C-alpha cells in the first residue's frame, strides 16, 4: 500500500496521552481482555450513530443498511482487526478522538494510577473513557482506517503509542466501504488473541449483549460467521437472562467494572410503552458529585440510540445507570424536542417511581445489600428530600440514618418512631461534618440522660433538607442545636419523676449577670435542661438557622450577618454553682469567667474563641488568681 507523502502528517500526542499509553502497558496491565470489549463497544456506538443520522439522511446507508461488527483474525501475521460499518471518521475526527482525549478524563486517570500505585484495578479504564487506548495493552502498534458515511475520502491513523502518531489519506480500495477498521499488530505475548476460539469465547462472554450483530472471520479470506445476533438484552424476557449477562451489559452501559448492586428490568404497557433496564452500581462512579449532577441514562426509540443527554431521572438518582427504550416517541425526534415531550415527562415519572419502589423493596428484603448501597449513595438520595416535594414522603421511607442509639448500624425513620420515649413529640437530629465530634457534643447530654435517640447527620445536604421543616408520620424534625430542647416532659432514665425545672434564685442572678457581661455576643443566656455534665453549650435561636447550616451559608458568602447564639448554662454544674455563690467583690473575676464560659462553649461547638488575645489574658488572670488563693 502506497501513501501520498503530501497527505501524510506526523503529530505528537498531548503529554497526558503519552503518559497514559505508557501506563496502559506498564501499570494497568492485569485485565488485558478489556481491549476487546472497548473496541466492540466503540464499533457498536458508531453503528448506532449511523442509524440515528440515517433517520433524516437514509442515503448514508447506501446498499449496506444492516449494521454489523466484523472481527478478523490473522494469527499467522500476529494481527487482529475489529471493523464496523458505522458512521466512520473524517481526518479531523481522528485527530480529535484518537490524538487528544482530555475531555475523557485523561489527566484524572493518569493521576489516579500514579497516586494509587495499583497495577490490578480494571475499574480504572472504564471509569475514565479511555477505552480505545486499552488496545496498546496487547498491540505493539495500531492502525485505524476509516471512511466516513457519505464521503469519498478515507484516512488512516497509525501509532506505536510511544509519543507520536501519523494521519494520512489512503486509497479507497484499502478502506472499508463505510465505517472504521482498527488493526492491532499484536505483541508476542498477546498472539493468542488472534486465535479464533479465544476470540469467540471473549466476545460471547463480554459483548454478547451488544445490539449490533458480531461476525468472526477466522483468517483473511475466510467466510464470516455469526458470534452474536445483536438482539438487545432489554427486549428479552427477564427469565431468559442470566445474572452474568446482566452484569456484562451493566459494565458496558455504565462504563464500570464492578458488579451491579441492583438490577431493575421491566416493560411498561398501557398509555405509554417502554422498556427499562437500569442498574445501581456497587461502587461510586467518579462523576457522582460533578457540579452539573447529570443523569447517565440512555434513551433509545425502538432500539435506535437517540441520546444519553435526556432528562430521564431526577438528579438525585444520577447514580443509576442504564437505558429506556420507548415505543412511542418518533424516531425523528430532535434532542431539543425530547426535553419538552409530554411522553418523556410521563416516562420519567413512571421510571422514577418504579426505581424508588424497587429500592424500598431492597431496603426491606435485603438489609445488608441496601446498607452498602446507602453508604455509597445515601448522600445523593437525600438531595431528593430537598428537591422532590412530590416524592418526599416516599423518600423518607427509604432514607437511613446513624444515631446515638444505632451503635453504627443504619436506622430507618420507622425504627426511630417505634423507639420514641414517653412525652417525646419530635424527631431529634444534629447536623455536623464529623460523627465523632457530634457524639461528643454537650448538646446531647440531656437526650442521653433520658434515652432519647438523636439522628447524627454528617452529609452536606443534611443542612439543607432539614430546613424545609419535614415531618414523618406527623412527627416534626427538630434540631438539638436550635431553640429549646423541650425535654422537660420526658422522664430521666434514673428517675421516673419529671426533673425539677425551678431555677434557684442565685443561679438566676448569675445567668442575668452573664447575659449582661456578654452583651451583643449572644442573643440570650438561660438555664439548660439539655446539659447534664458540661457547664455550657451554644444553641441557635428558635427562629434562626441551625448552627451547621449557618456555618455553610457563611462559608459560601451567603450570609450578611450571623445570628447571635443562645448560651445555655447548666444550673446543676459544680462550676456554675460555685460562680453563682461569689459576691459583688469578685465582679471582675466573674466577668472573666463569663467570657471564658462563652469561649468554652464556642470551642465545644467546633469554633475558636471569639477573641484569642482577650481569651489568653482572661485565662492568665484566672490562673493567677487561683494560684494566689492556693
C-alpha cell belonging to residue 97: 478522538
Q: Determine if residue 42 is labeled as part of a ligand binding site.
A: yes
b/e for 92-103, b at 16 or more Cβ within 10 A?
A: ebbbebbbebee
CB 199 within 8 A of CB 73: yes
* 333 grid coordinates: 425526534
Q: How far apart are CA 430 and CA 485, in angstroms?
A: 12
Is 105 known to sit in a ligand binding site?
yes
3-state SS assignment for residue 606 = coil
Q: What is the DSSP letter of 395?
A: H
Q: Is 128 marked as a binding-site residue? A: yes
Residue 126 among known ligand-binding residues: no
Instruction: Confirm whether residue 481 is marked as ligand binding.
Output: no
Q: In this structure, what are the phi and psi dihedrals at residue 524, rounded to the nearest 5 degrees?
A: -165, 155
Supply the DSSP string of 296-354, one letter for each residue. EEEEEETTEEEES-S--S-GGGTT-EEEEEESSS-TT--HHHHHH-HHHHHHHHHHHHH
Q: Does 127 appear as a known binding residue?
A: yes
Residue 84 annotated as lining a ligand binding site: yes
**Exposed, middle or buried: residue 112 (CB in 10 Å: 0-12, 13-18, 19+)?**
middle
Q: Residues 428, 441: contact at Cβ < 8 Å?
A: no
Q: Is 131 annotated as a binding residue?
A: yes
**Binding residue per annotation — 129?**
yes
CA-nearest of 300, 291, 384 to 338 is 300
Annotated binding residue 132: yes
**Helix/strand/coil for 341:** coil
Report the 10 Å Cβ neighbour count for 7.
14
How far apart CA 263 and CA 254 sit, in angstroms, is 12
**CB count, 10 Å around CB of 622?**
14
User: Distance (Å, rounded) from C-alpha 60 to C-alpha 50?
Assistant: 8
Residue 37, SS3 per DSSP: helix
Is residue 38 annotated as involved in ligand binding?
A: yes
The one-character DSSP state at 564 is P
429 assigned ligand-binding residue: no
Task: For residue 383, count CB atoms less than 10 angstroms from its CB and return exposed for 0-12, middle for 13-18, buried for 19 or more.
Answer: buried
> 389 a known binding residue?
no
78 phi and psi angles, rounded to 5 deg: 55, 45
Of 231, 261, 235, 236, nearest to 247 by C-alpha is: 261
Chain mean position to CA 410: 20
What does DSSP assign to residue 270? S
* Rounded (5°) CA angle 60-65-68: 110
- Whole-angstrom Cα distance, residue 303 to residue 57? 18
**Which amino acids are annotated as binding site for ATP, given as ranges?**
38, 42, 84, 89, 104-105, 127-132, 180, 335
**Which amino acids are annotated as binding site, given as ranges?**
38, 42, 84, 89, 104-105, 127-132, 180, 335
Amino acid at each position: 500500500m502506497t501513501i501520498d507523502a503530501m497527505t501524510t502528517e506526523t503529530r505528537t500526542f498531548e503529554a497526558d496521552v503519552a503518559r497514559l499509553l505508557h501506563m496502559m502497558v506498564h501499570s494497568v496491565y492485569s485485565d488485558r481482555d478489556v481491549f476487546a470489549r472497548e473496541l466492540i463497544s466503540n464499533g457498536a456506538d458508531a453503528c448506532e450513530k449511523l442509524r440515528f443520522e440515517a433517520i433524516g439522511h437514509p442515503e448514508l446507508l447506501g446498499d449496506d443498511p444492516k449494521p454489523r461488527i466484523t472481527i478478523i483474525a490473522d494469527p499467522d501475521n500476529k494481527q487482529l482487526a475489529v471493523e464496523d460499518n458505522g458512521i466512520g471518521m473524517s481526518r479531523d475526527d481522528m485527530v480529535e478522538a484518537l490524538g487528544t482525549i482530555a475531555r475523557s478524563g485523561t489527566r484524572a486517570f493518569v493521576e489516579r494510577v500514579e497516586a494509587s500505585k495499583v497495577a490490578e484495578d480494571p475499574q480504572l479504564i472504564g471509569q475514565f473513557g479511555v477505552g480505545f487506548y486499552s488496545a496498546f495493552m496487547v498491540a505493539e502498534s495500531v492502525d485505524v482506517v476509516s471512511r466516513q458515511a457519505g464521503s469519498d475520502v478515507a484516512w488512516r491513523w497509525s501509532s506505536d503509542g510511544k509519543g507520536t502518531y501519523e494521519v494520512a489519506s489512503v486509497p479507497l480500495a484499502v478502506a472499508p466501504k463505510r465505517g472504521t477498521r482498527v488493526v492491532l499488530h499484536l505483541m508476542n505475548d498477546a498472539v493468542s488473541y488472534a486465535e479464533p476460539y479465544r476470540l469467540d469465547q471473549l466476545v460471547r462472554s463480554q459483548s454478547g449483549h451488544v445490539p449490533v450483530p458480531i461476525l468472526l472471520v477466522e483468517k483473511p479470506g475466510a467466510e464470516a460467521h455469526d458470534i452474536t445476533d445483536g438482539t438487545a438484552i432489554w427486549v428479552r424476557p427477564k427469565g431468559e437472562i442470566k445474572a452474568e449477562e446482566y452484569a456484562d451489559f451493566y459494565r458496558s452501559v455504565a462504563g464500570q467494572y464492578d458488579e451491579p448492586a441492583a438490577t431493575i428490568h421491566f416493560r411498561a404497557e398501557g398509555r405509554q410503552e417502554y422498556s427499562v433496564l437500569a442498574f445501581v452500581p456497587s461502587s461510586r462512579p467518579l462523576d457522582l458529585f460533578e457540579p452539573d449532577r447529570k443523569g447517565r441514562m440512555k434513551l433509545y426509540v425502538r432500539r435506535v440510540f437517540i441520546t444519553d443527554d435526556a432528562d430521564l431521572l431526577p438528579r438525585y438518582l444520577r447514580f443509576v445507570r442504564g437505558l429506556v427504550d420507548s415505543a412511542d416517541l418518533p424516531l425523528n425526534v430532535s434532542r431539543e424536542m425530547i426535553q419538552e415531550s409530554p411522553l418523556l415527562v410521563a416516562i420519567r415519572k413512571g421510571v422514577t417511581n418504579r426505581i424508588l419502589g424497587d429500592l424500598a423493596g431492597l431496603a426491606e428484603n435485603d438489609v445488608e445489600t441496601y446498607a452498602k448501597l446507602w453508604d455509597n449513595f445515601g448522600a445523593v438520595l437525600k438531595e431528593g428530600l430537598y428537591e422532590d416535594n412530590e416524592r418526599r414522603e416516599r423518600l423518607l421511607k427509604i432514607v437511613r440514618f446513624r444515631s446515638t442509639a444505632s451503635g453504627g448500624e443504619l436506622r430507618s425513620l420507622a425504627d426511630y418512631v417505634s423507639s420514641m420515649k414517653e412525652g417525646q413529640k419530635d424527631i431529634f437530629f444534629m447536623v455536623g461534618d464529623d460523627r465523632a465530634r457530634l457524639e461528643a457534643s454537650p448538646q446531647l447530654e440531656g437526650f442521653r440522660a433520658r434515652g432519647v435517640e438523636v439522628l447524627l447527620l454528617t452529609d452536606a445536604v443534611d443542612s439543607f433538607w432539614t430546613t424545609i421543616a419535614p415531618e414523618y408520620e406527623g412527627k416534626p424534625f427538630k434540631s438539638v442545636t436550635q431553640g429549646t430542647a423541650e425535654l422537660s416532659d420526658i422522664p430521666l432514665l434514673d428517675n421516673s419523676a419529671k426533673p425539677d425545672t425551678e431555677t434557684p434564685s442565685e443561679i438566676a442572678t448569675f445567668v442575668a449577670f452573664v447575659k449582661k457581661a456578654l452583651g451583643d455576643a449572644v442573643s440570650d443566656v438561660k438555664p439548660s435542661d439539655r446539659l447534664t455534665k458540661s457547664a455550657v453549650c451554644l444553641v441557635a435561636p428558635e427562629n434562626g438557622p441551625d448552627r451547621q447550616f449557618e456555618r455553610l451559608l457563611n462559608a459560601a458568602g451567603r450570609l450578611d450577618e450571623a445570628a447571635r447564639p443562645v448560651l445555655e448554662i447548666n444550673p446543676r454544674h459544680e462550676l456554675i454553682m460555685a460562680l453563682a455563690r461569689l459576691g459583688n467583690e469578685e465582679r471582675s473575676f466573674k466577668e472573666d469567667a463569663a467570657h471564658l464560659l462563652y469561649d468554652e462553649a464556642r470551642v465545644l461547638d467546633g469554633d475558636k474563641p471569639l477573641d484569642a488575645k482577650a481569651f489568653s489574658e482572661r485565662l492568665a488572670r484566672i490562673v493567677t488568681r487561683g494560684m494566689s488563693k492556693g
